[in-house]
Amino acid sequence: MQRTAIIGGSGLYQMEGIEVLDELDIDTPYGKPSDTLTLAKIHGQEVVFLPRHGKTHSIPPHKINYRANIYALKLVGASQIISVSAVGSLREDIAPGDFVIVDQFVDRTRERVSTFFDGPIVAHVSLADPVCASLRSQLQQACEQQHITTHNKGTYMVMQGPQFSTRAESNVYRSWGMDVIGMTNMPEAKLAREAEICYATVAMCTDYDCWHENEDDVSVSNVLEVMHKNVGKAKIMLDTFFKNKPKGKQACACHQALQHGIFADLKAQDDNALRPIHALVKRFL
């Protein structure tokens, strides 16, 4: 059983031609995920939708239970995750309404638990390239087929939130060479790598943050207006992605991320140590 997971707003679920199969109420060793998972079928492919902030958008970025979200997706057989995220632009040429298929992250969040391997079992996975190249390429092709203005790489600056940036912060991030800014994709991407799930982000630009002298500063009303249009384009992009996607599991190095990263003899560990990470390490036992 191999499924594609989509983490994003609940508005993505209202896609033409989608067949909803079930609502999955999942428990994990880390508590409940943000909401129930919606199991559906698109073009014959099984898809799991998870609203990152809950279906009523009641969970702020710093309160999301990222470990429960990723672990729940692992439990239901997700082999890849498409993160659909609203972001601000830090570059003149990335305009509101543009999509960016992110290839790098800079994590400036704090006090968010960012690993499943919290001891006594320790693991170190590579995050040199935190986004799955194959999944990125497929998403880029889907955007191009639908003539969505798309930037095929970019660095996503992940800020703590829930407040937007100060003008000084925004200009500092620009001086660092950051391309877009948002609040949610870390530690999400780190945890997906530890769970050996392919991960890619479609960053949908809604505003110019607050650095642009000729544009209004970012506000919720402005963001929502552009976001509504972006969601429509995201649905079209996802429909094309699943129409083109090969059926069956695709081999990828992401699925072997833990192969040489676990610093413990798992078979010598007791149940208390293994229970919270069992879904991640059971293939080694």
Q: What is the pLDDT of residue 3?
A: 94
Give the pLDDT band (50/70/90) at residue 215. Answer: low
Pair of tokens at residue 19: 């067949």
Reported as type and span, the H/E element at residue 207 is strand 198-207
Give the pTM: 0.95
pLDDT reported for residue 121: 96
Which residues are catalytic, by number? 207, 209
Strand-strand pairing, 155-158 and 180-182: parallel
Q: In order of start, what are the domains of the chain with their CATH numbers? A: 3-284 (3.40.50.1580)
Q: Do 96 and 206 form a contact (C-beta atoms < 8 A)? A: yes
pLDDT, tens digit, 9 for 90 and up, residues 117-174: 999 999 999 999 999 999 999 999 999 999 999 999 999 999 999 999 999 999 999 9
C-alpha span between 183 and 157 (Å, rounded): 8
Q: Hey, which residues does 28 pair with through a beta bridge?
A: 31
User: Binning pLDDT at 50, 70 and 90, where does residue 216 land?
Assistant: low
Q: Is the pLDDT of residue 11 over 80?
A: no
Q: What was the pLDDT predicted at 103?
A: 98
Whole-Å CA distances, 279 to 1, 7, 136? 14, 20, 25
Instruction: pLDDT band for 227, please (50, 70, 90 cuts).
Output: confident
Note whether 199 and 133 are within 8 A (CB): no
pLDDT tens for each residue of 242-251: 999 987 777 8
Q: What is the pLDDT of residue 219?
A: 60
Q: Name the CA radius of gyration of the chain, rounded.
A: 18
In terms of C-beta density within 10 A (0-12 exposed, 13-18 middle, 19 or more buried), how is residue 65 classed?
A: middle
Bridge pairing between strands 3-8 and 78-89: parallel
Contact 82, 138 (CB under 8 A): no
CA nearest neighbour of 63 among 136, 209, 162, 196: 162
Asked whether the beta carbons of 85 and 8 are under 8 A apart, the reply is yes
What does the block give as tokens for 111? 């006090």
Q: What is residue 251's predicted lDDT score, i.e. its pLDDT?
A: 84
Span 17-37, mean pLDDT?
Answer: 96
Q: How many helices (H) and strands (E) does the chain have?
A: 7, 11
Q: What is the pLDDT of residue 217?
A: 59
Q: Which two tokens stand for residue 14?
A: 């209202």
Nearest to 124 by CA among 282, 284, 264, 267: 264
Which pLDDT score, from 0 to 100, does residue 211 have?
A: 80
Poorest-pLDDT segment among 43-47, 80-84, 113-117, 208-212: 208-212
Instruction: Choose among 151, 64, 169, 67: nearest CA to 114.
Output: 67
pLDDT score at 1: 64
CA distances from 88 to 20, 55, 220 (A): 32, 22, 12
4 close to 24: Cβ distance less than 8 angstroms: no
